[in-house]
Amino acid sequence: MSIPVTYIVLAVLLSILAQFGLLYSQLNSQVPTGRDAEAPPAIACPIGVNAEAISRFRTFLQFPTVSSSTTVDHISEGSAEAFQNAEAFLEKSYPLVWSRLEVEKVGTGGHTFLLKWQGSDDDELPILFISHYDVVPAIVTSANAVGGEWLHPPFSGAWSDDGYIYGRGTLDVKYSVIALLEAVTVLLKEGFTPERSLYFTFGHDEEVR
């Protein structure tokens, strides 16, 4: 599977706008509800095209985090190191998130992340953002390795001359893990504190549940 670089950038920006636009509107008003409620004012995207974010996304694609329904921890045989390396990569790549938010590893085998960003008003209901970083197996044969299903190795994160990024997880759904972490990092750097607490969960076995 592949996805154009422009789509990745657009996905990151739209994710930030869609998922965090609500938070910005809460700074001065309550969340509008009902059919006749006024829409919140438009906001400017806090970041532009970020080559480093794209690089982090491509690196994240290179971990073959294949889940399985037949193992106790839902990690496929031979993939334990890939999961460990992927988890370590996120912590190393987003130090501000890991130092400022509460981070737990939960779920079967303790490979699912649960992050909490404490809000300023405990009376407000929290918001939960969900994603996952496990993927389904990628079968590469001589028939589909070139010119077929996979034009590039499925865990290469290759950025090809045709403008596409290739890799298992580009669309389902490692991009949203990176988009959320990039957005939180930007907001933390800007000194933003959400009104209501925010939770983020990045599952390791969504594909087999």
Please give the Cα distance from 191 to 208 (Å, whole number).
Answer: 38
Tokens of 114: 């649960």
Catalytic residue among 87, 182, 205, 206: 206
* Catalytic member of 134, 182, 205, 207: 134
Identify any residues that bridge with 112 across adjacent strands, giving them in sequence order: 106
| DSSP label of 202 | E
* Cβ-contact 126, 198 below 8 angstroms: yes
Q: Tell me, yes or no, if 206 is annotated catalytic.
A: yes
Q: What is the CA radius of gyration of the chain?
A: 18
122 among known catalytic residues:
no
Give the strands of the sheet with 127-132, arranged side by side: 102-106, 112-117, 198-203, 127-132
Catalytic residue IDs: 134, 206
